[in-house]
Structure 1
Amino acid sequence: MTLHFAAVLIVHLALAAVGLCLIVIDARSHRLPNRIVLPALGALILLLIVEAIMTGDGERPTRALLGGLALAAFYAMLRLSSRQGMGGGDVKLAAVIGLALAWHGWQTLLLGAAAAFLLGALHALSLMALRRATRHTRIAFGPWMIIGAALAIGIA
């Protein structure tokens, strides 16, 4: 096992722990706290810079930064188009998830992003079919973003 592989494994395990905390918090309170999301974002950006310096390869970190920016911009557009849809926490979490997914590749980013919407829609439709929700019921989307990302990384 190389040092780089060990570092990547540790980062992914840390992201999984953060993701599990955020799933619980968002499912209970419909909040993705800045005190968790922003440090995770900052740490990932710092780790990408360190990786680029240590490996001498800037391609993967650059792709990750662009992916984080792209996914956050997409979620920001969704937020601006409907204030009652995506929350600001979802936009910030999208930056974190975009960094992690794009680090693995563009296909992983697209798969993870699409999986979040598919899983969220299936959850909402299930609740509606069981008459536990209506079209107007607010549903936490952070858990589906995190689960979609985890599935995409697991497939990658």
Structure 2
Amino acid sequence: MPVTLIVLAAAYGAAAGLLIPRPAHRMAVEPEEEWRAVCPGGHPITGPARGWLGPGRCAECGAYGPGALPTAAVTALVCAALTAATGPRPELAVWLAMAPVTVLLAAVDWRARRLPDVLTLPLAVLAAGALGVVGRLTGEAGAWWRALLGGLVLAACYLVLHLAHPSGLGLGDVKLALGLGVALGWYGWRTLVTGGAAGVLIGAVYGAGLMIARRGAGKTAMPLGPFMIIGAFCGLLPGAAATP
């Protein structure tokens, strides 16, 4: 694996991660509330794309939400790891495009216990559409159809969990599962099962830890999105590395 490619991917991830705090702050609101238009200090959020793009710190008071350096570091690490595992194959471009969106989703869900449709649904469309292009260019149409089916299967599993326990698992998790399942399904059913099961297991371990620490995990909604994303990451890495 060329080190230069990994370094470039990490630089891209760091640059994308620096932009995450602003939209994370804007989106971290209750479902019935509108996106925030001011920083925590009350200063208007302005900039390109109606204020969605721009520095991760307010120019007036320096505050937004999650720190820009942590989000940059996490996104850079994710992009570098995906590049090292995937190599210079066409689907790498899809993983690098999805990575900042998933980090943003994890940040929003952790802060506000919600996964906005404006992120989850486009993520699924991005994964399905971009992998469709990759499948056509590489002649791997079968992998694309399996990816689509994988997204439907994982989303269906989470839908069943939602219907069984709606207070603990929301429809946002079901929609996120659709996009993650498409990505995991590209590398096969084993990768899909590994990534899906890892997300549930990691979330369960975290919830059990909260209960043991007597911090009211059973009374407070726990964000599942970050654990689903971490689990998918854990499944995607070995799936990509094992693909010739």
Instruction: State the TM-score, normalizing by the size of structure 2.
Output: 0.60
- Partner residue in 2 for 1:112: 195
The counterpart of 2:149, out of the listed 51, 61, 66, is 66
- Partner residue in 2 for 1:151: 234
Counterpart AA for 1:117: V
* Distance in 1 between residues matched to 2:234 and 2:135, nearest whole Å: 26
Q: Counterpart of 2:160 in 1: which secondary structure? A: helix
Over 4 Å off, 4+ runs: none
Conservation of the 8 A alpha-carbon contact between 2:98 and 2:127: no
Structure 1 residues 36-115: aligned runs within 5 Å = 36-115=119-198
* Distance in 1 between residues matched to 2:92 and 2:177, nearest whole Å: 21
Please give the per-residue CA displacement for 1:47-91, whole angstroms capped at 9, x wherever unaligned.
132223222331100110010000011111111222212111100
- Partner residue in 2 for 1:141: 224
* Distance in 2 between residues matched to 1:104 and 1:27, nearest whole Å: 28
Q: Which has the higher contact order (CA 8 A, sep 6+)?
A: 1
- Partner residue in 2 for 1:12: 95
Conservation of the 8 A alpha-carbon contact between 1:124 and 1:133: no
Identity of paired residues, percent? Answer: 42
Larger CA deviation: 131-140 vs 85-94: 131-140
Counterpart AA for 1:93: L
1:6 offset after TM fit, Å?
5.1
Unpaired stretches in structure 2, ≥5 consecutive residues: 3-86, 240-244
Conservation of the 8 A alpha-carbon contact between 2:90 and 2:134: no
Q: Counterpart of 1:104 in 2: which secondary structure? A: coil
The counterpart of 1:29, out of the listed 112, 119, 144, is 112
1:7 offset after TM fit, Å?
3.5
Structure index of larger Rg? 2
Conservation of the 8 A alpha-carbon contact between 2:91 and 2:131: no
* Distance in 1 between residues matched to 2:192 and 2:89, nearest whole Å: 22
Conservation of the 8 A alpha-carbon contact between 1:113 and 1:149: yes
Instruction: State the TM-score, normalizing by the size of structure 1.
Output: 0.91
Distance change (3 Å), C-alpha of 1:64 and 1:37 = same
* Distance in 1 between residues matched to 2:132 and 2:217, nearest whole Å: 45
